[in-house]
Amino acid sequence: MRLEIKDLHVHYGKIEAIKGISIVVNEGEIVTLIGANGAGKTTMLKTISGLRPATSGQIIFNGEDITGVPAHKRVDLGLSQAPEGRGIFPGMTVLENLEMGKFHRHDRKKEMAEDLDKVYTLFPRLKERISQAGGTLSGGEQQMLAIGRALMARPKVLLLDEPSMGLAPQMIANIFRIITEINKTGVTILLVEQNAQQALQRAHRAYILETGNVVKEAKASDLLNDPAVREAYLGTGAH
């Protein structure tokens, strides 16, 4: 279940946001894309999940070219995204949100109960909030809901867009611990993050993006110790 992006170009109007990026995510890995605001991280994820069209290049998933496949069909293939800014349905309850995550596999009633259980095991907090409207949850809970909802689709590859955004440090650590847990159940993860410290600690490999280009690719642990990376993305003195 390999995800391969080949020479991807994406435009917003005339502006080229992604300028020929190639990345590979192997089965079972956590791969992270880190970089500053405007580097093209979110655009990469949106193009991979199908919300944005690619100008050129290829997205190959499980040996199949899915570049032209619409977003709602990529979910069937096993590609699931927890959107940026959490993107949950604010007017639906936690349970309804999770049920929406299974919209495309609605006929499998037994799966629903099983997967709800799995999500509640990962995020006990969601079970406590089961009948609460999504919009009334705290930021961390909304992030949990977004991830839980994406898991309901039984993804093979999970795309996470800035899961740490706007969260308290303790909640960030908690979310990243759960991401590792999800990965251990066999879900491949592509993680987009500004919080390079946490992302590099959890990921196997990393790509550094700058203004639409990959400027560096390496094992995550190597990047953690790379002085140049430390200076640019981790803050020199810290840790």
Q: Which residues here bind other proteins, judged by CB under 8 A?
A: 49-51, 70-73, 75-76, 80-81, 83, 87-93, 95-96, 99-101, 103-106, 130-133, 135-136, 149-150, 153
The position carrying tokens 């840790």 is: 239
CB of 40 to other proteins, least distance (A): 18
> Which residues pair with residue 56 across a beta bridge?
9
Shortest distance in whole angstroms from residue 213 CB to other proteins: 26
Smallest gap from Cβ 146 to other proteins, in A, equals 8
Q: Which is nearer to other proteins, 59 or 88 (CB)?
A: 88
Asked whether the beta carbons of 45 and 205 are under 8 A apart, the reply is: no
Q: Which of 32, 38, 27 is nearest to 224 (CA)?
A: 32
State the minimum distance, in angstroms, from the CB of residue 225 to other proteins.
Answer: 36
Q: Rounded to the nearest 5 degrees, what angle is found at the Cα of 80, between the Cα atoms of 75 and 81?
A: 130
> Least separation, in Å, of the C-beta of 123 and other proteins?
18
Q: DSSP state, 233?
A: I
In the bound state with other proteins, the residue whose beta carbon lies nearer, of 155 and 214, is 155
Contacts of 33 (CB under 8 A, 6+ apart): 23, 41, 44, 190, 191, 192, 193, 206, 207, 209
Q: What is the C-alpha to C-alpha distance for residues 111 and 3, in angstroms, rounded to an integer?
A: 26
